[in-house]
Chain A
């Protein structure tokens, strides 16, 4: 298998992100128009400069028409992209490849989700006709399976581990409280979270990402032309995607203490970017903290620490804003909520701000100035069967 990557061939020269909210007063089209406009302004472009679009939405609309119509695009190609909760990142990945191929000069990746018009709390999957034997568990319950398995494998007390993952939520809410785009902007303590009623396994509501409406967009051009549009572009070092084959739900050797698709996509991304020691080389990471146990095991799967040590690294503050490797400095899904099509691009938006020194002082990463690359990880699905996306972006061309 060859995965050559397109290291430093394309760059992001503009990005935009709407506030993530329960936007009762705004439609999907409103969100698309705002994110698109913000990204173009940021790149100093108009829509006439854009050659092609990749539009990610999981279930808010279908086909390229649903982007071309609200933006009134003029005979432009628009591809609608869907890849579970990694949909937004997948749109970016396709846009980058399109520019790298030389097919287009300027491509826009845009992702959006209008979740709050459904009438139910939480994310609810699109009904597809089946034989009725498919699992109907919530994502919260599926990810809650990690905790007892991890506790048993590594000999951590279940109560201790419950506190550890609450600390992850505490950290992300601390960061999100310093981000005006985030939906939840209040700090919450691990102690308070531990006292909340369980909704799935040992997870409380505050161990789960919220739900929000939102949109985000990125403008991609070739690396050679990047500085024509932007003084400090973000070069794309790696783009990796792994679609799991579901073997974890079939294979008794899978023990729910790891997300193998994430480890595989990270390995691929590091190879593309030439990274050998991510903990020392990355300035920050945005990871898919859909549930607190997810972020816990991701620290190991992404190679930020050794197997069985993430729980103690969390307690040590390794992944805090001022830690050795800040993780989710924008507050993550925990603070933003999760408009499925937009989240992956929202994560890249934080790398866009932080690496270029544009994040506000109060949530600036401590690694700024020493390191120039960020990792973005975005997954969709469940332990045992998921898609995992990892990108590496950086402010310097290698």
Chain B
């Protein structure tokens, strides 16, 4: 391993929709509380949110990852790797391994620690979609979000945060659990977890300080998080350091993604030189120390966590439940779509996952989808790839379709003309029909169009460019 390890780039994705927790009690007469939780749209899953976070992290010209690690507690697929979808959407090469780390939130922070300890330039993506039964603690207290942290050494490029080291404490105790296939977790009584966690936090914190030759006074700010709310709060007080905003009021606890969501949030606001601690209570305790560098001031993603927290629209509780499959609603009386063809999708992966069209070398016309023959001139195979995922466009005309099948009708559809050339009719998402007009600016976002026969149909949609 060469050079100093640390973070080369980072990004987060907080979905556009929010559930006001007060809406839960309005419907159910109980549950909820104050504040909001972030809600993945009906067309988002942990994979698509991971893609969006990764795009945020890599948008600023960060070096290309040599490995992609994806961690979630709510995988879109089992048996099939989800990281390969993220890999395809990011257009990473075949020699870049894409691996899933699943099971528990601990896997996500473990992936980050392992990446920091390894020699590879690794994009660590954490994504979670927290679902609980109505009125339950995760129903209101959970949140949906994803993060991406590009880990590498200062030889790969300027680090925005150096990794100073850390410590871990591991113990077996069953405080929170869920058997595969269950929609919600169960927990033991709070006080058991609290007494199990606190010594582990103290131990890991002390070991981390010792191994890094730091004192608590050196730590500018600490992000402390875990799914055991009571233990987390207590631990934060115990450490006696400045504690970062934990985003429970505005996002909710995003499980596997929450530690890195808080880390990115802290880095968004850190001053070069600040020592930042990340303390994660997850079947033990992980403590990691970072130091913000001068490169942070120019290396932050274009959209901070705060930007995304503020860019929001409410969703009703009933619609939220329907989106999560907890409230079955009458489907439109239209045939459901066919499952996508795996062989056709594999042939066109660069289009389907990467949103890469083709540009005719002789006419300069961009074709979406890619075409072997140009619409003008008619030359065959005189095209070069035209990656369009990061290109912004303008609505040329649009409509709202109340008839077509959709997991959440109506469908807002627009013909989008991309800056610099290229046109495509695309579905819009994260949008209210009334806010679209000819001229609305649109960016592309990776989504799950529908699921048929257990196959998720991933493709790109447009959404209004906000902020």
| A positions within 8 Å CB-CB of B | 120-122, 124, 127, 129-133, 135-138, 140-142, 144-145, 148-149, 152, 198-201, 245-247, 249-252, 254-256, 384
B404-A138 in contact (CB<8A): yes
B423-A131 in contact (CB<8A): no
Give residues 106-131 of B contacting A (CB, 8 Å): none
A152-B438 in contact (CB<8A): yes
| B positions within 8 Å CB-CB of A | 333-335, 337-341, 344-345, 347-348, 351-352, 365, 367-369, 371, 375-376, 396-405, 411, 413, 415, 417, 421-425, 438, 449, 457-459
A-B contact pairs, 21 of them (CB 8 A): A120-B334, A120-B335, A121-B333, A122-B334, A124-B334, A129-B341, A131-B344, A131-B347, A132-B344, A136-B405, A137-B413, A141-B400, A198-B402, A200-B399, A201-B400, A245-B375, A249-B424, A249-B425, A250-B375, A252-B396, A252-B422
A148-B397 in contact (CB<8A): yes
A200-B403 in contact (CB<8A): yes
A130-B340 in contact (CB<8A): yes
Which among A137, A140, A149, A246 has the highest number of chain B CB atoms within 10 Å? A137
With A132-B459, A250-B365, A252-B421 given, name 11 new contacts (CB 8 A).
Answer: A127-B337, A135-B425, A140-B401, A141-B404, A145-B398, A148-B397, A200-B399, A250-B367, A250-B368, A250-B371, A254-B423
Partner of B398, one of A130, A148, A199: A148
Question: How far apart are the CA atoms of A201 and B365 in the complex, in Å?
Answer: 29
Question: How far apart are the CA atoms of A231 and B306 in the complex, in Å?
Answer: 82
Determine the chain B residues whose CB is within 8 A of the CB of A250 once the complex forms.
365, 367-368, 371, 375, 422-424
Partner of B375, one of A124, A145, A198, A247: A247
Question: How far apart are the CA atoms of A200 and B458 in the complex, in Å?
Answer: 25
Partner of B341, one of A130, A135, A141: A130
Question: How far apart are the CA atoms of A26 and B311 in the complex, in Å?
Answer: 56
A136-B337 in contact (CB<8A): yes
Which among B365, B398, B403, B417 has the highest number of chain A CB atoms within 10 Å? B403
Question: How far apart are the CA atoms of A250 and B398 in the complex, in Å?
Answer: 15
Partner of B404, one of A132, A136, A149, A256: A136
Please report whether the interface of chain A is mostly helix, strand, loop or mixed according to DSSP: loop
Quote the shortest CB–CB distance from B355 to chain A (angstroms). Answer: 9
A199-B347 CB under 8 A given contacts A130-B340, A132-B341, A133-B369: no
Question: How far apart are the CA atoms of A144 and B344 in the complex, in Å?
Answer: 30
Q: Which residue of A lies closest to B437 (CB)?
A: A148
Question: How far apart are the CA atoms of A7 and B237 in the complex, in Å?
Answer: 93
Question: How far apart are the CA atoms of A149 and B203 in the complex, in Å?
Answer: 67
A145-B415 CB under 8 A given contacts A137-B425, A201-B399, A250-B368: yes
Partner of B340, one of A131, A148, A245: A131
Q: Which residue of A lies closest to B421 (CB)?
A: A252
Question: How far apart are the CA atoms of A256 and B344 in the complex, in Å?
Answer: 30
A138-B401 CB under 8 A given contacts A129-B344, A131-B348: yes
A149-B397 in contact (CB<8A): yes
A141-B413 in contact (CB<8A): yes
Question: How far apart are the CA atoms of A138 and B401 in the complex, in Å?
Answer: 7
Determine the chain A residues whose CB is within 8 A of the CB of B421 once the complex forms.
252
The 9 closest A-B pairs by CB, nearest first: A132-B340, A141-B401, A201-B399, A129-B341, A247-B375, A132-B457, A131-B344, A127-B338, A252-B417
A131-B399 CB under 8 A given contacts A250-B371, A251-B365: no
A141-B335 in contact (CB<8A): no
B399-A130 in contact (CB<8A): no
A199-B403 in contact (CB<8A): yes
Question: How far apart are the CA atoms of A35 and B288 in the complex, in Å?
Answer: 80
Quote the shortest CB–CB distance from A159 to chain B (angstroms). Answer: 15
Determine the chain A residues whose CB is within 8 A of the CB of B371 once the complex forms.
250
Q: Which residue of A lies closest to B402 (CB)?
A: A199
Determine the chain A residues whose CB is within 8 A of the CB of B413 once the complex forms.
137, 141
Q: Which residue of B lies closest to A246 (CB)?
A: B375
Question: How far apart are the CA atoms of A245 and B376 in the complex, in Å?
Answer: 11
Question: How far apart are the CA atoms of A141 and B411 in the complex, in Å?
Answer: 9
B399-A141 in contact (CB<8A): yes
Quote the shortest CB–CB distance from B66 to chain A (angstroms). Answer: 28
Quote the shortest CB–CB distance from B466 to chain A (angstroms). Answer: 22
Question: How far apart are the CA atoms of A76 and B312 in the complex, in Å?
Answer: 67
Question: How far apart are the CA atoms of A145 and B376 in the complex, in Å?
Answer: 24
A132-B415 CB under 8 A given contacts A120-B335, A201-B399: no
A255-B396 in contact (CB<8A): yes
B375-A132 in contact (CB<8A): no
B402-A200 in contact (CB<8A): yes
Quote the shortest CB–CB distance from A204 to chain B (angstroms). Answer: 10
Question: How far apart are the CA atoms of A254 and B457 in the complex, in Å?
Answer: 29
Determine the chain A residues whose CB is within 8 A of the CB of B398 once the complex forms.
145, 148
Question: How far apart are the CA atoms of A149 and B437 in the complex, in Å?
Answer: 11
Q: Which residue of B lies closest to A125 (CB)?
A: B335
Question: How far apart are the CA atoms of A189 and B398 in the complex, in Å?
Answer: 27
Q: Which residue of A lies closest to B404 (CB)?
A: A138
Q: Which residue of B lies closest to A254 (CB)?
A: B423
Question: How far apart are the CA atoms of A247 and B367 in the complex, in Å?
Answer: 9
B400-A256 in contact (CB<8A): no
Determine the chain A residues whose CB is within 8 A of the CB of B396 once the complex forms.
149, 252, 255-256
Question: How far apart are the CA atoms of A251 and B396 in the complex, in Å?
Answer: 11
Quote the shortest CB–CB distance from A147 to chain B (angstroms). Answer: 9
B459-A141 in contact (CB<8A): no
Quote the shortest CB–CB distance from A297 to chain B (angstroms). Answer: 13
Determine the chain B residues whose CB is within 8 A of the CB of A254 once the complex forms.
423
Question: How far apart are the CA atoms of A328 and B340 in the complex, in Å?
Answer: 40
Determine the chain B residues whose CB is within 8 A of the CB of A137 once the complex forms.
399, 401, 404, 411, 413, 425
Question: How far apart are the CA atoms of A246 and B423 in the complex, in Å?
Answer: 12
Q: Which residue of A lies closest to B347 (CB)?
A: A131
Determine the chain A residues whose CB is within 8 A of the CB of B334 once the complex forms.
120-122, 124
Q: Which residue of B lies closest to A256 (CB)?
A: B397
Quote the shortest CB–CB distance from B379 to chain A (angstroms). Answer: 14
Determine the chain B residues whose CB is within 8 A of the CB of A201 once the complex forms.
399-401
Determine the chain B residues whose CB is within 8 A of the CB of A144 once the complex forms.
399
Q: Which residue of A lies closest to B348 (CB)?
A: A131
Determine the chain B residues whose CB is within 8 A of the CB of A255 once the complex forms.
396-397
